[in-house]
A and B are shown apart, each in its own frame.
Chain A
Amino acid sequence: MSDLLVSGAVKRFGDVEALRGVDLEVGAGEFFCVLGPSGAGKTTLLRAVAGLERLDAGTIRSGGRDLTHAPVQGRGIGMIFQTFALYPHLTVHDNLAYPLREARLDPAQIERRVGEVAELLRIGHTLRRRPATLSGGEQQRVAIGRAIIRRSKLLLLDEPLTNLDAKLRHDTRVEFKRLHRELRMTMLYATPDQLEALTMAERIGVLREGRIVQVGTPRDLYQAPGDSFVAALVGAPRMNLLPAVLANGGRAVALPFLEVDGGPWATALGRFPAGTELWFGIRPHDLAPTVDAQAGPRFRATVHLTEPLGDVTVLDLTVGGTVFKMVLPEERAVRYRVGDEVPVGFAVANTHVFSRQTGTAIR
């Protein structure tokens, strides 16, 4: 059962086309992430769902109702803004109570709900203070509280972690998962951060220049990116995308320093003429120094730069003119110094091939 259905959503601001026909289906109680770089149209999409922007074309349905032309006030959707947007002139208590007062709940009930939400989010001690006197994390939790206090079915979150520091981001990610479990709300969560999307979402929709280019579970997107854009966006460090051409009568992918064949893409490649320009993709985690008897392709590369991250180290390698990354556990990486030669191998099953012309994955 779907709780939110966006079809063919188009939104223009003058000459800028922020949404170019977005289709989206979010299931009831689902945690759905909209992942896309800055300017992709995430905010515009969420604001349109909330009713703050009027679509130029397309429809929005939720809970069995057509919301396309419904006024924002009547939609009964909760929203957390990137800037938090707390009411600066009201205390935390009154910020939380605001949606309930607007809905004319009786005061006793308002007090009870404010108390519940404050406890749920551990902001009881801040109730009498103004937002400006709160820490970023506290402001964030007040914003969450205000958005969920009406117990609406659908919650929109616009980059709610962007304005927090790294430690707080991690804690709040956990918090969102807990809230989602406890409140059983449908969540539409916009973020430019693939890590947030991968760790929290049940499904992710990748938004690129106003279009949804792929929808899938985090595993889908990570293991089978639909195009080179998604491949580069999801996963960190990002997937190595190396220029290659189709060779050997359409069965092998030729890198300047290596020919690879027999991958999951081998059959599909048959449709393309020899010489077709391709991207050859392999994740830094899927590369490793070869041990003697290992099967699969291998080549020798030179260590160009090392970037220790504590538990793992990112090695920048060069072979010929090509630069790419390999991630190793710290204990395996200590052996390598800049300038060393490393024998590198990988499993063909973990490789991806994309058409360089269209970006689409070939498999």
Chain B
Amino acid sequence: MAKGYRARGVRQGGWGRTGLAAVVSVAYFFPVLWIILTAFKTHNDALATPPKFLFHPTIENFIAVFRRSYIKGFEAVDTGFALFFFNSIFVSASSVVIALAIGTLAAYGFSRFPLRGNDTYLFIILTTRMLPPIVVIIPIFLMFRVAGLSGGYAGVMLLYTAFNLPFAIWMMKSFFDELSGDVEDAARVDGSSETRVFSRVALPQVRAGLAATAVFGLILTWNEFLFALLLTGVGTRTVPVAMAQTIGGDIGVRWGLLAAIETLFLVPVIVVSFLLQHQLLRGVTFGTIKR
């Protein structure tokens, strides 16, 4: 399928425009490429001016992500990054899964069984995302402290779920709205209960939407820093927070180390996007490209 799009692209756009698109893409991708290259450089290569494109790659930075000595000459110790990666994956994945589960059900309800004042509810749901996080951070921090939710997994997961929910509801509702109501009615006539109409007929038709919503939610959660900084404890720290703490190191910033963390940090996002790319392509175009 993706192949089809690409082939058509070149044919219709011609090589000139395709080339232009390639140049623009490279320009966008360049910072990412730069980070990946830096991750494989020694400290001196990383700081060299003019920047080096040809160098002897090393994986010492990647080892240092997980084990290094904090003071020169001392024994290398565990940095805890394995745990931080686990935390990031665990917290993002579970909050996205929960938000998607609740959001999909809510979206189906909003789309198929509208309430009196349906749009008002939808708008109110969206307003929770209208304030910049910095505005609400202090009350949220206090609330979570009082409720005993700060420091543990439950707190961040709850918050991230709440963050992903409005987005999930709105996205999924737009996908459900696209579906033909007749198809679900046909299932009712064919003997399906409401639960089965949802699970056997409506849900399978919005798989692409689910994938797109999941990826967007994951990226949003994966990169979140501010709330993670305030609400996670030592054991539940996520990678963005740990990364920030790595910058303020001993002597100057270890760019190679930082780049190595970022490179590792990118891997899950790329893997997930790759796995879901076919669905995603349909999902992000909101069904404007048919099958």
The answer to whether B182 touches A81, judged by C-beta atoms less than 8 angstroms apart, is yes
A82 nearest CB neighbor, chain B only: B182
* Complex Cα–Cα for A99 and B186 (A): 10
Residue from B182, B183, B191 in contact with A102 in the complex, judged by beta carbons closer than 8 Å? B191
Does A110 touch B at the CB level, under 8 Å? no
Most A C-beta atoms less than 10 A away, residue of B183, B186, B205: B186
Does B116 touch A at the CB level, under 8 Å? no
The answer to whether B180 touches A72, judged by C-beta atoms less than 8 angstroms apart, is no
Residue from A73, A85, A146, A150 in contact with B193 in the complex, judged by beta carbons closer than 8 Å? A73
The answer to whether A87 touches B186, judged by C-beta atoms less than 8 angstroms apart, is yes
The answer to whether A132 touches B205, judged by C-beta atoms less than 8 angstroms apart, is no
Does A229 touch B at the CB level, under 8 Å? no
* Complex Cα–Cα for A85 and B186 (A): 7
The answer to whether B291 touches A132, judged by C-beta atoms less than 8 angstroms apart, is yes
Most A C-beta atoms less than 10 A away, residue of B189, B191, B204, B205: B189
* Complex Cα–Cα for A86 and B190 (A): 11
Interfacial chain A residues near B186, Cβ < 8 Å: 79, 81, 85-87, 146
The answer to whether A73 touches B185, judged by C-beta atoms less than 8 angstroms apart, is no
The answer to whether A87 touches B193, judged by C-beta atoms less than 8 angstroms apart, is no
Residue from A73, A85, A89, A103 in contact with B182 in the complex, judged by beta carbons closer than 8 Å? A85
Does A324 touch B at the CB level, under 8 Å? no
Does B223 touch A at the CB level, under 8 Å? no
The answer to whether B183 touches A72, judged by C-beta atoms less than 8 angstroms apart, is no
From residue B11, how far is it (CB to closest CB) to chain A in Å? 22
The answer to whether B189 touches A50, judged by C-beta atoms less than 8 angstroms apart, is yes
Interfacial chain B residues near A47, Cβ < 8 Å: 185
The answer to whether A99 touches B188, judged by C-beta atoms less than 8 angstroms apart, is no
Q: Using an 8 Å CB-CB cutoff, how does the interface string of B264-291 with A read, 1 for contact, 0 for none?
A: 0000000000000000000000000011
The answer to whether A99 touches B190, judged by C-beta atoms less than 8 angstroms apart, is yes
Does B129 touch A at the CB level, under 8 Å? no
Interfacial chain B residues near A85, Cβ < 8 Å: 180, 182-183, 185-186
Interfacial chain B residues near A103, Cβ < 8 Å: 191
Residue from A73, A79, A83 in contact with B192 in the complex, judged by beta carbons closer than 8 Å? A73
Does B201 touch A at the CB level, under 8 Å? yes
Does A77 touch B at the CB level, under 8 Å? yes
* Complex Cα–Cα for A81 and B204 (A): 21
Does A343 touch B at the CB level, under 8 Å? no
* Complex Cα–Cα for A89 and B185 (A): 15
The answer to whether B188 touches A52, judged by C-beta atoms less than 8 angstroms apart, is yes
Q: Using an 8 Å CB-CB cutoff, how does the interface string of A77-101 with B read, 1 for contact, 0 for none?
A: 1110111011111000000001100
* Complex Cα–Cα for A281 and B255 (A): 94
A132 nearest CB neighbor, chain B only: B291
Does B196 touch A at the CB level, under 8 Å? yes
* Complex Cα–Cα for A21 and B189 (A): 24
Interfacial chain A residues near B230, Cβ < 8 Å: none
The answer to whether A77 touches B189, judged by C-beta atoms less than 8 angstroms apart, is yes
B291 nearest CB neighbor, chain A only: A132
A83 nearest CB neighbor, chain B only: B182
* Complex Cα–Cα for A343 and B201 (A): 65
Q: Using an 8 Å CB-CB cutoff, how does the interface string of B83-94 with A read, 1 for contact, 0 for none?
A: 000000000000
From residue B142, how far is it (CB to closest CB) to chain A in Å? 47
* A89 in contact with B204 given A81-B185, A132-B291 (CB within 8 Å): yes
* Complex Cα–Cα for A37 and B253 (A): 78
The answer to whether B190 touches A98, judged by C-beta atoms less than 8 angstroms apart, is yes
* A78 in contact with B189 given A88-B205, A89-B205 (CB within 8 Å): yes
* A72 in contact with B189 given A85-B180, A88-B183 (CB within 8 Å): yes
Across the A-B interface, give the 5 residue pairs with the lowest CB-CB distance, nearest first.
Answer: A85-B182, A102-B191, A99-B190, A85-B186, A89-B204
Question: In the complex, given contacts A47-B185, A87-B187, what are 5 additional A-B residue pairs having Cβ atoms less than 8 angstroms apart?
Answer: A50-B189, A85-B186, A87-B201, A88-B183, A146-B190
Q: Can you list 15 contacts pairing A with B, beta carbon distance less than 8 Å?
A: A52-B188, A52-B189, A73-B192, A73-B193, A79-B189, A82-B182, A86-B183, A86-B186, A87-B201, A88-B205, A99-B191, A102-B192, A103-B191, A132-B290, A132-B291
What is the interface of chain A, defined by CB distance below 8 A to chain B? 47, 50-52, 72-73, 75, 77-79, 81-83, 85-89, 98-99, 102-103, 132, 146, 150
What is the interface of chain B, defined by CB distance below 8 A to chain A? 180, 182-183, 185-193, 196, 201, 204-205, 207, 290-291
